[in-house]
Chains A and B, each alone.
Chain A
Amino acid sequence: GAGVSQSPSNKVTEKGKDVELRCDPISGHTALYWYRQSLGQGLEFLIYFQGNSAPDKSGLPSDRFSAERTGGSVSTLTIQRTQQEDSAVYLCASSLQGGREAETQYFGPGTRLLVL
């Protein structure tokens, strides 16, 4: 079976433009997570979706960031009016159920965003 896929793999944009990043989770996984990884650093939690529940948006750094998950599957992370400090790798992960500690999260390869 396919793993988590993300597109695009790389994105270069100009400051002030909007960008959309896509994540396709593993089929059957009800939980989906977005993280941000600055150059060579650990991961920073952004947002979590579980089934039809309201998402946990507590990690979004500003109101320029938003995410949605349509039909409980594909998710899109949108960054409006991008800034240079938004440059990072954006990673998506999915897990079978979510809401359980120690559950394995499966990560996609990430989208490398560069804001000029």
Chain B
Amino acid sequence: TQLLEQSPQFLSIQEGENLTVYCNSSSVFSSLQWYRQEPGEGPVLLVTVVTGGEVKKLKRLTFQFGDARKDSSLHITAAQPGDTGLYLCAGYQGAQKLVFGQGTRLTINP
């Protein structure tokens, strides 16, 4: 059983469309992180959300942390082909063990 469940697992949309990826858990996290991973590379941190209800924006990407700190979402506006990749959410169990969701593989078609 995954501690962090991501949905959808696969998403293929056209350039210019909007999309939302979800990360859900039955456990409370003090913070959640979102990473993007491209083929042949390691994950790269996009954002860390630490406060329940927090919203962070990174250009066309909007990240939200649920009020109860059990879930998070990533919304992309006007998706571009360069947004293609594997998006991973992650949260700390204790101070050193990072647990990951299974990922959302996003493909943006020109």
Interface residues of A (CB under 8 A from B): 4, 31, 33, 35, 40-45, 48, 50, 56, 58-59, 91, 93, 98-102, 104-105, 107-110
Contact = CB atoms under 8 A, between A and B. Distances in A.
A98 B92 CA distance: 12
Nearest to A6: B42
5 contacts: A40-B103, A43-B98, A45-B99, A56-B97, A105-B45
Contacts of A42: 2, 4, 6, 88, 90, 100-103
Nearest to B105: A40
Contacts, number: 67
B52 to A, nearest CB: 14
Contacts of B97: 45, 48, 56, 58-59
Contacts of B30: 101-102
Contact of B31 (A93, A102, A110): A102
Contacts of A58: 97
A35 B42 CA distance: 11
Contacts of B96: 31, 33, 48, 50, 56, 98-99
